[in-house]
Amino acid sequence: MRRCPSCNALLLENTTYCGNCGLKQELIDEKICIKCNNSIPVDSKFCPHCGTAATIKAESKENIHIDTTESIEPTTRQQVNSEKISTSNQTPIITYELDPYILSAIDNFKFSFTKKYAEFNGRASRGEYCRYILIETLIFVLMLAISLFISYISKKPEYVLWGVFLHSIVFFLPTLAISTRRAHDLNNPGWTSLILFIPYINILYTFYLLLKKGDIAPNNYGFPTSFEIITPKISEEKDIKLSQTSDSPIKFTSTIVVLIGIIIAAFVSIDSNNSHTNASKNKVTPTTSTSTQNPKGNVTQVPQATQTSVTTEKDYIEQSTKALKSYYDKLNQKNFSGAYALLSEQHRANVGYYDKWKNGYNTTLNIKLASIKVLSSNPNQVIYEYQLHARDLINGKIKNQIFTGNVTMTKENATWVIKDQDGKLISSYFE
């Protein structure tokens, strides 16, 4: 293969006229290596520089006789025009200056993501496509790891979905475009890239694009890309890095494997903190009794009957929510002993003895649980985010206070109680 001296388009050895600019090509007595772009003697079967097989024969000046007489000029012009049109229809011109070069992974990604963001014409070689997919996968894993970390810290799993959605929006067009150009490199129509949207089949098609070698010569969709090695001279002239080294894919693959390991570790950590233990069906609950201590110190035993039930997520969330609302209902009814019984031993130690805790509500008129939201749940523990509206009578004036925070409900002896609660004041005003 060789290049047109006028427009630098890639041409076959036996091409007489350039399909891009129409310039008549001078016949040569040597071949050009398609890999390292160095000259090869006509009688050599292999490139003396890189060892690539020289399979395309060059034309020789001595074997061609050019007749320029006037008698065949009309016929010659007609043949030239016909060849020019046919070549132009089958092999579009090279639009981008960096198309012929084997770029490094980073330069290849920048070139595809910026210059060819929505370019569906032309071709993309196997190496060009693989390097793009490699960097895009690396970015996806990084974004997923960051999203998981934020979700773990904030206890809001929706950040993972937002991270995946953002990545899909940014990379949808360039990925579809390079997949279309990769299909062109295999001389397939661009619409075949729509297979990527078919579940399961898209996995096989992706491997096909990654592994299948493209056409080495111009085809119906243009000239091949990413075939010329970047020398130090070209690197300096074009301001690009040298061609991809053999150890670069190993480095990127190792990085991806490490990041995937971090993601798996994050999933395991989240799962261990919020373990969801599925209750077995038809579980038999033995007869138990709970102790309730009233303000006078008397202990009342409340027996519980043996029952068979299936515990679902909806059931235990409803039960814990009902217990939480019951706690504030009892406070509004001034049933402090009943409300205190809904506190766990751990929380009672935090709020103090019964009398001290009860005195904290001396000025309270009523408490309203404005909103609650489940943050995490399992059959033995449910964590809520809540907002509370309290009204207190202070010095003859009614003061409104709004609190927000988290409350943890836990199941003790088949009864839901408040294990822990925190809150902060976000607003207050007088009526």
Give start-end residues of each CATH 3.10.450.50 domain in the chain. 313-430
Q: How many CA atoms lie within 13 A of 94 on its CB side?
A: 20
237 is written with which tokens? 């002239």
Question: In what helix (H) or strand (E) does residue 26 lie, and over which residues does it extend?
Answer: none
100 within 8 A of 226, measured Cβ to Cβ: yes
Residue 389: strand, helix, or coil: strand
pLDDT by residue for the chain (431 residues), tens digit each? 667 777 766 676 666 667 666 676 766 555 677 667 777 766 666 676 666 666 443 333 333 343 433 333 443 333 434 343 334 444 444 568 888 888 888 888 999 999 999 999 999 999 999 999 999 998 998 888 888 888 888 888 888 889 899 999 999 999 999 999 999 999 999 999 899 999 999 999 999 999 999 988 888 998 888 888 888 888 888 778 777 655 555 666 677 677 777 667 766 665 665 554 444 444 434 444 444 444 444 444 444 443 434 457 778 888 888 888 889 998 888 888 888 888 988 888 888 878 888 888 888 988 888 888 888 888 889 999 999 889 988 888 898 999 999 999 998 888 899 988 888 888 888 88
What does the H/E/C string look like for 193-259?
HHHHHCCCHHHHHHHHHHHCCCCCCCECCECCCCCECCCHHHHHHHCCCCCCCCCHHHHHHHHHHHH
Q: Where are the alpha helices (DSSP H) in 10-72?
A: none
b/e per residue 154-165 (b: at least 16 CB within 10 A): eeeeebbeebee
Rounded to whole angstroms, the Cα distance separating 183 from 385 reads 51
Q: How many CA atoms lie within 13 A of 283 on its CB side?
A: 10
80 is written with which tokens? 């030239």
37 is written with which tokens? 């772009």
Report whether CATH 3.40.50.720 matches the domain 313-430: no
